[in-house]
Structure 1
Amino acid sequence: MKKEDKSLIIEKIGNVLGEYSCVYLTQTSGLNAERTSALRRACFKDDIKMLCVKNTLLKKAFEASETDYSGLYDLLHGETTLLLSNTGNAPAKLIKKFRQKNDTLPMLKGAFVEESVYVGEAQLDTLSNIKSKNELIADVVALLQSPAKNVISALQSGANKLHGILETLSNKEN
């Protein structure tokens, strides 16, 4: 491959990396063509970009990036497949779901999620339990609504009690 072609590919990889906040490095060697196609379809359905890249080109794209991916450099050996997403837990959930049909593949090498590096297969459960931005916003909204709901409920029950007391008093006078 010519040097110009390599620099073009490195630039393309860098542009793609810039579009996503979460980078997962996985190993998919051992998957047959049918399983690889199934993984690609599952990634597309879950809005995850899947790329198979050469480690040297990926490392150069990491180095050229403004983001510090240095924690992932040691993981760039063997076959590497990138799973890119803007939702931190989506690729981890996809890997776990995909593994239900296939024993151990794809295998997680490491991940870069929201400026944190996770290394090794053992981090898969941790990554799948990370809440996405939308889930966190929903939790905050629920927490903010809870006191208001309690006040409304108390006012409604108080109104019912007051109505009952007034009705009892009015019946007593008759």
Structure 2
Amino acid sequence: MNKLLATLIASVFATAAYAQTPAPTTVPTSPAISKEQAKADEKVSKAEVKEAKKDADADKDVAKVADKAEKKKAKAHAKAAKAHDKANEKVAKADADDKMKAEAKAEKDIASADTKAAKVDAKQDAKVAKEQAEANRDKSIAAAKTSEVKAKAAADVKEAAAKH
């Protein structure tokens, strides 16, 4: 218990130390620096727009795949329900002598239909998960590119400030 408590307290201090932001550096303003700052802001805004567009496209693709998967799942379950009804109907129509045999066959048919529906579910869930992973990858790449542009823009402004 003491070790757990010590770990929690240490993590609070570590988080607090990490969360502190450095003091902003003051950059002397001149027309050249202002111009460079404007260029940097424009580059950053363009990068952010690009990132937002990538995010939206990725989300749209995931939604499209998920919708398609849900339709396929619904179709498979409807087919399974139809097989259940058909099997139960055969049992109801069977003679008294053949009732047990018909019930056994119906159970096999129902199990087969359920298995097929479960396979479709698994396959569609995997497709959605794959698309979600690709979307997350695309979003991460876009965020990294935006961070790169921001860092380069900040460096350009500092460089311009150093020249003047």
TM-score w.r.t. structure 2 length? 0.33
TM-score w.r.t. structure 1 length? 0.31
Computing the radius of gyration from Cα coordinates, the structure with the larger value is 2
- Bigger helix share: 2
Question: Of the two structures, which has the highest relative contact order with CA contacts closer than 8 Å and spacing of 6 or more?
Answer: 2
